[in-house]
Amino acid sequence: MEVHAHTHTSRKKWTHYFWEFLMLFLAVFCGFMAENIREHKIEQDRAKEFTKSLVQDLQNDTAAITTEKKSATIYIAVVDSLLRLSKTPLEGRHAAEFSFYTRFTYWTVPVSWSRNTFEQIKNSGSLRYFKNGQLLKKMLEYDGIVNEINLESNANSIRGNMLLPLINSIIEPVLHHELSKHFLVSLDTMSNETRENFFSYNTGSLENKREKVKELLNMVVVQQRNFQFQINTRWQEAQALATELISDLKKEYHLE
């Protein structure tokens, strides 16, 4: 009969398994932490790149609002001139002046926003990169103000298009053609000589167009009122918040 030898191995102590588990746990945990830190660094870098572009867009917005305010202020003055002239006989020079100012009542140019960066941030789900809750709240508030201003701009455009038939019925085509070479925003820099040439134009009497004149004036007064409101409220709010955001973003992401 053969005798088989049995190999006996000593059992490992529980502390051995504990340390194996602990080492494995630490390896997995450290790997998780390293990945988490790496992801956090990537998010920070992306947020900073977005911020640089966003700051530039906001600076463009503040400049665009300033331009819009200037044009709207000129529009308000144009309407005041039309109202003043409407109280006089619209003949000779007064008729020419009235025709001149009438040409610029069509102005419906909206604020030229720089929205590409923020739209990219929203559409790509990258708002999560901005961890500062107050900063994110301001960004969303600014977006809301811009949307409200755009709605009013659309209404201005609709009213402007409604004005076109009235403008066309009041201004002589040749004068209209000459005036179309000039823009509302450049009225305050137009030379006296150029302005005087237009004021000396023989347009004929506008007295026989008083009904059209009245209709036009009622509509441009509405535009004037809305532009005045935008200057004092929404555009002012947007510009102030944009300026605040620029400062906050630079401070948060250490931009010069």
pLDDT at 55: 93
Nearest to 100 by CA among 164, 178, 162: 178
Domain limits, the chain: 14-252
Q: Which residues of the chain have pLDDT under 50?
A: 1
pTM comes to: 0.81
Backbone CA torsion sign across 16, 20, 21, 23: positive
pLDDT at 8: 54
Residue 129, both tokens: 């990169």
pLDDT at 92: 95
Cα–Cα dist 103/113, whole Å = 26
- Cα distances (Å, whole numbers) of residue 168 to 80, 84, 212: 20, 21, 10
- The structure tokens 């555009």 sit at 235
- The structure tokens 């701009």 sit at 153
- The structure tokens 């900073």 sit at 48
pLDDT at 169: 93
pLDDT at 67: 93
Distance between alpha carbon 142 and the CA centroid of its chain, in Å?
9
Residue-wise burial string across 59-91, b where 16 or more C-beta atoms lie within 10 A, e elsewhere: eebbebbeebbebbebbbebbebbeebbeeebe
